[in-house]
Amino acid sequence: TATPPAMPTVPPPVPQAPPVSLSKVTLTKASPSVSLTKQGGTSGAMRVNLNWQVRKQFSGWASKLGRPVAMHDDLDLDLCALYELSDGRKGVIQALGNAYGALHQPPYIHLDGDDRTGAMASGENLTINLDHKQAFSRILVFVTIYQGARSFADLNATVTLTPQHGAPVDFSLDECTVPSTVCALALITRNGDDLVVQREARYLVPERGVSPQRTVDHAYGWGMNWTPGRK
């Protein structure tokens, strides 16, 4: 009798990786961190934007002009970043001292410019080169008040991280209730091939005679030496 032909063996199905989420992620106190890898943001340039609006308060009437005088018209916020590279080098990106960084050589972080207008069309922007993510150990994005206010009170601010090839990550700052002139915004740490964004939104109050930069350095254990600078 003829034997039936052997049935072809079917290889077991290969488990599929979960699909990459491309929907915007909003970080909150309850859910403060996200993996950029899970959001598809693993290469290209990532823009970090700080956009703010001031809740106008009126300090009185100008006696000669006959119109209300709004506070914070000359508000100047500076977006900055402390970085630590995987080889141990540390530094700061900021407008003070023209430390704008570089995108295609270490530290692979660049401050796009200094928005002193307060017009809020684009806010302040940092760009991080994710093609060199292996060079990073950690990056702390923070903001200081350069002039125009004594604290972040009456400020509505939003931070948005927009990877070139992934979903944007954003969060808003809580209302400031302390005399803070520096706020830690987001901590980006590398874990293998992954970068994790942690919402900080942490208002810090410098001690008398201590700069905002030194204050945020001390709070996060960066251990750098600071000298006065200007822009």
Token pair 């003829």 is at which residue? 2
The count of domains in the chain is 1
Question: In angstroms, what CA-CA distances link 161 with 18, 37, 198?
Answer: 23, 13, 11
Per-residue pLDDT, 71: 44
* Res 155: pLDDT: 85
The residue among 115 and 12 whose pLDDT is bigger is: 12
Q: Domain for residue 138, yes or no?
A: yes
Question: Between 153 and 116, where is the model more confident?
Answer: 153
Task: Please report which confidence band the pLDDT of residue 225 belongs to, taking 50, 70 and 90 as the band edges.
Answer: confident
Distance CA 144, CA 186 (A): 14
In a domain, 115, yes or no: yes
Q: Within a domain: residue 63?
A: no
173 within domain boundaries? yes
State the pLDDT confidence band at 82, using cuts at 50, 70 and 90. Answer: very high
pLDDT higher than 60, residue 17: no
Between 117 and 32, the higher pLDDT residue: 32
Predicted model pTM:
0.82
Q: Cis bond leading into 228, ω under 30°?
A: no
Is 167 in contact with 198 (CB distance < 8 Å)?
A: no
pLDDT per residue as tens digits for the range 41-62:
889 999 999 998 877 654 444 3
Query: Which is more confidently placed, 226 or 161?
Result: 161
pLDDT of residue 45: 95
Those residues whose C-beta lies under 8 Å from the C-beta of residue 140, and which sit 6 or more positions away, are: 81, 82, 83, 184, 186, 187, 188, 200, 216, 220, 222
Beta carbons of 141 and 195 less than 8 angstroms apart: no
The CATH number that applies at residue 92 is 2.60.60.30
Which residue is listed with tokens 């992954």? 194
- In sequence order, the β-bridge partners of residue 186 are 141, 199
Q: Which domain holds residue 39?
A: 26-56+69-220
Q: Is residue 227 part of a domain?
A: no
